[in-house]
């Protein structure tokens, strides 16, 4: 994304986001750059430009761009990105029993829509396009 001024808040936010390891960006990662309203405006600009996607309240993810299809996508996929967001938010979780059975070799049936069992209270919604984190 081309930013017009190098002293702008959007440029500072983008620079901080690029330094972060991983694909998940929390609002608290960039909260000390400027006023909360200015942070919101710059995050909205980055979402509109296709550099970030909003997964939920205060949770964003970096997007990769496909030059062939001319679209953006999550690098790791939806479920791993959602689980990485839970890790960044310090929410304890574990895979569904069906997924655990498949990973341990007790079952050969691949879970089509794996759920995530949450061990902590979490009432937010995490959503990417029309896919939502399902809790078991």
How far apart, in whole angstroms, are the C-alpha atoms of residue 123 and residue 12? 31
pLDDT value for 44? 95
Question: What is the structure's pLDDT at 8?
Answer: 85
Residues 3-41 have pLDDT tens digits of 566 778 898 999 999 999 999 999 999 999 999 999 999
Nearest 5°: the CA angle 64, 88, 9 is 60
State if pTM tops 0.85. Answer: yes
State phi, psi for 53 to the nearest 5 degrees. -130, 140
At 101-135, the pLDDT tens digits run: 999 999 999 888 888 888 988 888 999 998 888 77
Task: With a cut of 80, say whether residue 1 has pLDDT above it.
Answer: no
């Amino acid at each position: 994304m081309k930013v017009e001024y190098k002293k702008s808040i959007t440029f500072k936010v983008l620079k901080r986001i690029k330094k972060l390891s991983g694909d998940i960006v929390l609002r608290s990662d960039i909260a000390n750059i400027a006023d909360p309203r200015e942070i919101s405006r710059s995050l909205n600009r980055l979402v509109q430009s296709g550099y970030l996607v909003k997964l939920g309240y205060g949770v964003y993810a970096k997007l990769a761009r496909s030059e062939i299809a001319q679209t953006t996508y999550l690098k790791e996929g939806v479920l791993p990105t959602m689980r990485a967001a839970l890790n960044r938010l310090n929410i304890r979780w574990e895979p569904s029993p069906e997924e655990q059975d498949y990973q341990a070799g007790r079952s050969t049936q691949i879970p089509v829509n794996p759920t995530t069992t949450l061990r902590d209270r979490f009432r937010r919604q995490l959503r990417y396009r029309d896919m939502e984190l399902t809790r078991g």
